[in-house]
Amino acid sequence: MRRPLGCKPVEHACGSVRVQKACPNGILPNMSLIIATNLAKSFGPEDIFEGISLAIPKGARIAIVGPNGVGKTTLIRILIGLDFPNVGSVQHAKDLSIGYLPQEANLVNEGTLWSHCLAVFGEIIEMQGELDACMAAMSDPQQAENALARYGALEQAFEQRGGYTYEVQIKQVLSGLGFDEKDYHRPVTQLSGGQRTRALLARILLEHPDVMILDEPTNHLDIQAVEWLESFLKDWDGALVVVSHDRYFLDQVAETTWEMTPALEVYRGNYSAYLTQREARYARRLAEYEAQTAFIQKEQEFIRRNIAGQNTNQAKGRQRRLERLLEDARLAPPPSSPRRMHIKLSAQARSGDLVLRTHDLQVGYHDEGQPLFDCPDLVLQRQECAAIIGPNGAGKTTFLKTILEKTPPYTGTVQLGASLAIGYFAQAHEGLDPNKTLMAEIESLAPNLLPAEVRHYLARFLFTGDDVFRRVGTLSGGERGRLALAKLSLSDANLLLLDEPTNHLDLPTQEVLESVLSNFPGTILLVSHDRYLIDSLATQIWEVDPHGQSLQVFKGSYTQYKAHKLKMQEDQPKRQEGGSAYREQSSRSGSEQAQVKALSKFERRQIESRISELEGQINALEGQQAELSKFLESPPSDPDEVLRLGEQYVGLQKQVEALLAEWSALEDKLAGAG
């Protein structure tokens, strides 16, 4: 087993990697940050991949796609030096820093979430301590002049490094990734697995490495957090390599797509562009292969008929040319697509035109004392698809269970239409018995099937051989999802209630499921974070707003819904052209949004007046700071005067920070008022 050339990584507890030594001269061709040559990897007798060569240039935006088990995670671990190829080498640019997010974070940090993120800014915090020491030294007449000179240079570097904004950056990244302020001071050891992964992602974003390599970064994020991450990555200037099953996310952040088959196929563009190019590339290769095969057969037939006849010399000449072709230029058949799930969803009977109606519905649990959210009077017609979106914990699954009459309404009524046969796909797959075999699970719904027919049916969902005798409790998340779909397919339902049906499914399986649901003749109620699936199916968007405790209805597709929201944002008055990208991307807390919704016109005018007043005060103070900085470039000889001026500068800075904090809070209130 060969170690990648020149790669000596250090893996921190947070998962970041800094390469301490690069290739011999520290320079890679074509301004690439990482180059891999002829990589091959096997585990025992099983070959994972071979012959992979690639380059990651500066500013790259690369998506790696392919079926589960093809070796995507193994490849990226080799690229950063956490695993080693059996054959081939990896080279890194000099002093390359890499931020690596594994699918499951293994944080060993004993501190809080806040201290975990604060550690990124250790050098800035040290500079802050030096600034405080300079301030103290200014009180000593003998040290004042040198201390002031040191303070001026240090303060400028401190400001350029983000010394006055790093705490704001931490808050905005944590907020954007879905953390509440109450989580900031929780020990990392008390965070759930998903929260730890988000905490690691937050730290990587704050570190701004040269290359970010993210393995399923959206797994534990709701739609709002994923959209924030997309916005962040679009503004980020480093290189990005991402493995994800979130097709919409890949469309937003990728500019190049690598497909592992397990060979590496390179496509220009995002996921949607890759799908189009993949089909065209396969069709072209198949046509070339078939044309060459037909030519070879024709030549072989000519040679067979004429090798011993009047055209012997011509036949021998053709035979020599054909042998060279077969040796040097014989085309291989294009690789067939990996085995795909075969699912069929059919509605046994037609439902009534009215499928669902609610009246004065509130969703929630009586023992909690208040509802999760209120619903307007909803109507769902036959063959429509309503997509229910909203943050994690908002009550979407509870809403589905209310419709299924598994959870009673908090108040109000739910009316189901006539002739309905309901099929339910549960996010947690609680309909599966962990102690049963796969065969037994299918036989429980289809007792008339013979064992051979059950095995054939399970094979359509990629369970073959001895897989059918495994117990459900031993299955992975993706395998459990496929088994749940196999059971759903037997229901012959005309109303499907689907709770995160694409969770843990690889991209080929997601594509199959999307195609099947698009052709489903019944009605669908869909809870999902999969915006690609939502955009393909939804005729209505039902958005749960937990802060306003309401469900809002938009009639139209997800693309139309996003355009509508964007137009509403653009129609708001533009308050401030500048400002930090972090501030623009921030998400407000529930209490702040509740206050926004309660604003009257009088309160709005008061806030706008105060914002204008604050902007004037901030401009005036910054002007005083500029004049003072210019004056301190040639400090007076009196040490007491120097000390007084230094204290005055620091006082002005504190006033500016306080006014900026108030200005930011008021801007957030108005920005969300709509």
The proportion of the chain whose per-residue pLDDT surpasses 70, expressed as a percent, equals 87
> Residue 556: left if φ>0, alpha if ψ -120 to 50, beta else—which one?
left
pTM, to two decimals: 0.72
User: Would you place residue 628 in the very low, low, confident or very high pLDDT band (cuts 50, 70, 90)?
Assistant: confident
Instruction: Say how many C-beta atoms besides its own lie within 10 A of residue 43's C-beta.
Output: 10
517 is a domain residue = yes
Residue 410 vs residues 259, 355, 374, 398, 441: alpha-carbon distances, Å? 48, 21, 9, 11, 34
Distance CA 339, CA 352 (A): 38
Q: Are 248 and 53 spatial neighbours (Cβ–Cβ below 8 Å)?
A: no
The pLDDT, as a whole number, for residue 640 is: 64
Residues 443 and 558 occupy one common structural domain: yes
- What are 5's two structure tokens? 């050339």
Please state whether beta strands 46-57 and 32-43 pair in parallel, antiparallel, or not at all (unpaired).
antiparallel
- Give burial (CB, 10 Å; 0-12/13-18/19+) of 45: exposed
228 is a domain residue = no
Helix or strand or coil: residue 595?
helix
- Transcribe 150-169 into DSSP letters: HHHHHHHHHHHTTTTTHHHH
The pLDDT, as a whole number, for residue 594 is: 36
The pLDDT, as a whole number, for residue 65 is: 93
Q: Are 503 and 475 spatial neighbours (Cβ–Cβ below 8 Å)?
A: no
Helix or strand or coil: residue 555?
strand
Question: What is the H or E stretch that residue 520 is in?
Answer: none
**Which residues are CB-neighbours of 290 under 8 A, at least 6 positions away?**
none
- What are 493's two structure tokens? 């339902």
Q: Are 121 and 166 spatial neighbours (Cβ–Cβ below 8 Å)?
A: yes
Residue 567 has pLDDT above 50, yes or no: yes
pLDDT tens digit sequence for 579-625:
444 444 444 433 333 333 445 555 666 677 788 777 778 878 877 87
Question: Of the residues 566, 598, 626, which one is the last residue of a structural domain?
Answer: 566
The pLDDT, as a whole number, for residue 21 is: 40
- What are 57's two structure tokens? 């240039």
The pLDDT, as a whole number, for residue 144 is: 72
Q: Are 101 and 201 spatial neighbours (Cβ–Cβ below 8 Å)?
A: yes
Residue 3 has pLDDT above 90, yes or no: no
Distance CA 475, CA 462 (A): 13
Q: What is the mean pLDDT of residues 427-433?
A: 82
524 is a domain residue = yes
Q: Hey, CA dihedral for 245, 230, 223, 380, is it positive or negative?
A: negative
The pLDDT, as a whole number, for residue 342 is: 87
Residues 465 and 368 occupy one common structural domain: yes
Enclosing domain of residue 299:
273-328
Question: What is the H or E stretch that residue 332 is in?
Answer: none
CA 313 to chain centroid, in Å, comes to 65
Residues 646 and 519 occupy one common structural domain: no
Q: Are 28 and 93 spatial neighbours (Cβ–Cβ below 8 Å)?
A: yes
Q: Are 663 and 583 spatial neighbours (Cβ–Cβ below 8 Å)?
A: no
Residues 433 and 471 occupy one common structural domain: yes
Q: Are 17 and 92 spatial neighbours (Cβ–Cβ below 8 Å)?
A: no
Q: Hey, CA dihedral for 512, 518, 524, 525, is it positive or negative?
A: positive
**Which residues are CB-neighbours of 221 under 8 A, at least 6 positions away?**
177, 178, 198, 229, 529
- Report the chain's terminal Cα–Cα distance, integer Å: 60
- What are 273's two structure tokens? 């562009």
- What are 212's two structure tokens? 């970010």
Distance CA 592, CA 590 (A): 5
641 is a domain residue = yes
Residue 409 has pLDDT above 90, yes or no: yes
Q: Are 115 and 121 spatial neighbours (Cβ–Cβ below 8 Å)?
A: no
Backbone angles phi, psi at 371, to 5 degrees: -75, 160
The pLDDT, as a whole number, for residue 14 is: 42
Distance CA 503, CA 245 (A): 9
pLDDT tens digit sequence for 315-355:
888 889 988 988 888 888 887 666 778 888 888 788 889 99
Please list the residues that pair with 388 across neighbouring strands. Answer: 527, 542
Query: 100-104, 386-390, 438-442: lowest mean pLDDT where?
Result: 100-104
Read off the CATH number of the domain in which 360 is found: 3.40.50.300
User: Would you place residue 125 in the very low, low, confident or very high pLDDT band (cuts 50, 70, 90)?
Assistant: confident
The pLDDT, as a whole number, for residue 9 is: 41
Distance CA 91, CA 469 (A): 45
The single-letter code of the amino acid at 199 is A
Residues 437 and 529 occupy one common structural domain: yes
72 is a domain residue = no
**E strand map for 468-519:** 495-499
Q: Are 415 and 356 spatial neighbours (Cβ–Cβ below 8 Å)?
A: yes
Residue 84 has pLDDT above 80, yes or no: yes
Find, among 455, 519, 445, the residue nearest to 489 by Cα. Answer: 445
Please list the residues that pair with 214 across neighbouring strands. Answer: 101, 242
Q: Hey, CA dihedral for 547, 184, 190, 206, is it positive or negative?
A: positive
- Transcribe 535-592 into DSSP letters: HHH-SEEEEEETTTTEEEEEES-HHHHHHHHHHHHHHS----S---HHHHH----HHH
Residues 532 and 606 occupy one common structural domain: no
- What are 147's two structure tokens? 């201390």
Distance CA 145, CA 140 (A): 9
116 is a domain residue = no
- Transcribe 234-295 into DSSP letters: HH--SEEEEE-S-HHHHHHH-SEEEEESSSEEEEESSHHHHHHHHHHHHHHHHHHHHHHHHH
Q: What is the mean pLDDT of residues 104-110?
A: 73
Distance CA 643, CA 352 (A): 83
- What are 391's two structure tokens? 């943050």
596 is a domain residue = yes
Q: Are 37 and 89 spatial neighbours (Cβ–Cβ below 8 Å)?
A: yes
Question: Of the residues 531, 566, 601, which one is the last residue of a structural domain?
Answer: 566
- Return the DSSP state at 333: P
317 is a domain residue = yes
Residues 456 and 521 occupy one common structural domain: yes
Residues 404 and 477 occupy one common structural domain: yes
> Residue 525: left if φ>0, alpha if ψ -120 to 50, beta else—which one?
beta
Residues 488 and 407 occupy one common structural domain: yes
Q: What is the mean pLDDT of residues 416-439?
A: 89
Residues 526 and 625 occupy one common structural domain: no
Report the number of distinct structural domains present in the chain. 3
Mean residue pLDDT of the chain comes to: 83
Virtual CA dihedral for 62, 65, 69, 73, nearest 10 degrees?
10
Distance CA 118, CA 188 (A): 13
- What are 586's two structure tokens? 């921030």
More confidently predicted of 573 and 139: 139
The pLDDT, as a whole number, for residue 135 is: 77
Residues 384 and 417 occupy one common structural domain: yes
Find, among 343, 364, 382, 346, the residue nearest to 502 by Cα. Answer: 343
Find, among 507, 530, 534, the residue nearest to 258 by Cα. Answer: 507
Q: Are 646 and 566 spatial neighbours (Cβ–Cβ below 8 Å)?
A: no
- Transcribe 337-354 into DSSP letters: PPP--------SSPPPSE
Distance CA 293, CA 289 (A): 6
Helix 601-632 × helix 639-671 angle, to 10°: 150
The pLDDT, as a whole number, for residue 274 is: 92
pLDDT tens digit sequence for 142-200:
777 777 777 777 777 777 777 778 888 899 999 999 898 889 989 988 888 888 899 99
The single-letter code of the amino acid at 120 is V
pLDDT tens digit sequence for 345-391:
888 788 889 999 999 999 999 888 889 999 999 999 999 999 999 98
Residue 26 has pLDDT above 60, yes or no: no
Residues 561 and 592 occupy one common structural domain: no
CA 254 to chain centroid, in Å, comes to 11
